[in-house]
Amino acid sequence: MTDDDIGGATEAQHDEGFETTQSPDDTDETTGSDTGQRVIDALQWAAFGILILVALIATLQFYFATSNAIRNFVTPDYRPLFQAIFNLVILLASALGLSVLVRRIT
């Protein structure tokens, strides 16, 4: 007598892909939890997208407010220099962020 004979399944049933341990009720439970997980994932991605949009708006407002402050507090002779330095700092910070992001993705 083999282990398969004791369990009630023959080798032919195993070869054909019959499973004797799973009931239809088990499938319904996993499908429900998969659907719930998909909904949670979708909500998390939606929240992520909204937060990215808010961060982009805040970044643009910060950029324009800083440019306004440079126009108000820096004498006209030095404004182009301060604007160039500010824009260079923003460009370098963006390049650094993109570099880190590309490394993490690949």
pLDDT tens track for 23-64: 555 555 556 788 889 999 899 989 999 999 999 999 999 999
CA distance 41 to 62: 31
Q: How far apart are CA 79 and CA 76, in angstroms?
A: 5
CA torsion sign, 73 to 74 to 80 to 82?
negative
As a whole number, mean pLDDT of residues 81-96 equals 93
Taking residues 87-95, report their average pLDDT.
Answer: 93
Residue 52 counted as domain residue: yes
The answer as to whether 5 is a domain residue is no
Q: Are 79 and 71 in contact (CB under 8 A)?
A: yes
Q: Does the residue 19 lie in any domain?
A: no
For 92, the domain range is 25-105
Residue 76 falls inside a structural domain: yes
Residue 10 in domain: no
H-run or E-run covering 24: helix 24-73
Report the predicted TM-score, pTM, of the whole model to 2 decimal places: 0.57
| Encoded tokens for 42 | 């979708």
8 backbone dihedrals φ, ψ, rounded to 5°: 95, 0
Number of independent structural domains in the chain = 1
Whether 90 is in a domain gets the answer: yes
